[in-house]
Amino acid sequence: MVKRLYVKRIGKIIMKRQERIDRVDLMRTYIRIVEAGSLSAAARQLDTTQATVSRRLQSLESLLGVKLLLRTTHAMKLTDDGERCYQHAKRVADAWVALEDELSQSDDEPVGILRVRAPHAFGQEQLLGPLTQFLERHPQLSVEWMLNDKNVDFLSANIDCAIRVGAEVDPATVSVLLAEVPRCMVASPALLARFPAVETPQQLSALPWIALSTFYQHEIHLSHLQSGDTEQVAIAPRLYTDSLYAARNTAIGGLGVTLISSWAVEEELINGKLIALLPQWQAAPLPVHLVYPWARYYPARLRKFLQLMREVMPGLGGMRHPVRQA
């Protein structure tokens, strides 16, 4: 009898200790549910099952003694207690990450997984070298490198930071200007041979165009390097694309003129596959930002990556230091 009571007591102690250990994970799961918008989405992001996520939610509600979420078949809504719990949980989770980060590596060595989104062509052509060196310097760090040109929803996509080229800055995020991407107008010799020589910006309207739809579609804006004069030129694209590769390759094939990041056509301009049009007239360079959501604490992996981008971005081929407004 005494032995049975002893075992039961030990079991309760273990359960209480396990509860205390798991509370941070329960709060992290709850944060992910709220930010992902559903239990199923949270389960995918956490790489676990929906049943596990549901069980963690129920455990947290039992520990707190309140209902956190109201769920129907098609919707989920936070209760008032659920909203307060979310705000507190965010602060606790940030503090816990800060503690882990500080104690696990006294020399501020980044650990864990950093999730980064970058434009497809830019992330593949320009940044793989610096990224590889970054990972070699930090063996305890992994990076999830997601290449696409879509707008970033940090909460639902579970992304730590994003490299944005030419995009408007979202005031709700932290945005660090890293560099600028000069652009040029290019066309193939075969295409230009079919039309009169282009000597003024307005003559560009008579040519077929390939539009990089992320940045321009029906018109382009040019400035003269010496005089500062500006021109707005209407264009009629034969092709609209959000792919820099598609724009470059179809321009090489003679489909039309394109206004494109200079770094992407350096080799083609050297070997004569493409010719620069009106080099004294240029479109505004595209700003390059590193963007991430505001938080009270940023782990070493994000801080080190930001430091890397500040150092290497302006020196990449075809890039330049940003011209900051006074």
Look up residue 160 and give its two tokens.
């730590």
Q: What is the CATH architecture of 19-103?
A: Orthogonal Bundle (1.10)
pLDDT score, position 117: 92
Secondary-structure class of domain 112-180+287-315 per CATH = alpha beta
Which residues sit opposite 141 in a β-bridge?
112
Phi, psi of 280 (to 5 degrees): -75, -10
Amino acid at 143: V
Average pLDDT over residues 318-326: 68
- Torsion, Cα of 120, 299, 156, 127 (10° steps): 0
**What SS3 state is found at 209?**
strand
pLDDT tens for 212-252 read 998 999 999 999 999 999 999 999 999 999 999 999 999 99
The CA distance from 181 to 282, in Å, is 12
pLDDT tens for 258-289 read 999 999 999 999 999 999 999 999 999 999 99
Q: Report yes or no on whether pTM surpasses 0.75.
A: no
The H-or-E segment that residue 44 falls in is: helix 39-46
Instruction: State the fold for domain 183-284.
Output: D-Maltodextrin-Binding Protein; domain 2 (3.40.190)
pLDDT tens for 54-67 read 888 888 888 888 89
The H-or-E segment that residue 133 falls in is: helix 128-137
Measuring CA to CA, which residue among 288, 268, 284 is closest to residue 276? 268
Measuring CA to CA, which residue among 304, 267, 277, 255 is closest to residue 101? 304
Amino acid at 118: A
Task: Among 10-19, 115-124, 295-304, 316-325, name the one with the lowest average pLDDT.
Answer: 10-19
Helix H segments across 65-125?
80-104, 120-125
Domain boundaries, the chain: 19-103, 112-180+287-315, 183-284
Look up residue 242 and give its two tokens.
């959000």
112-180+287-315 and 183-284, same CATH topology: yes
The CA distance from 277 to 198, in Å, is 8
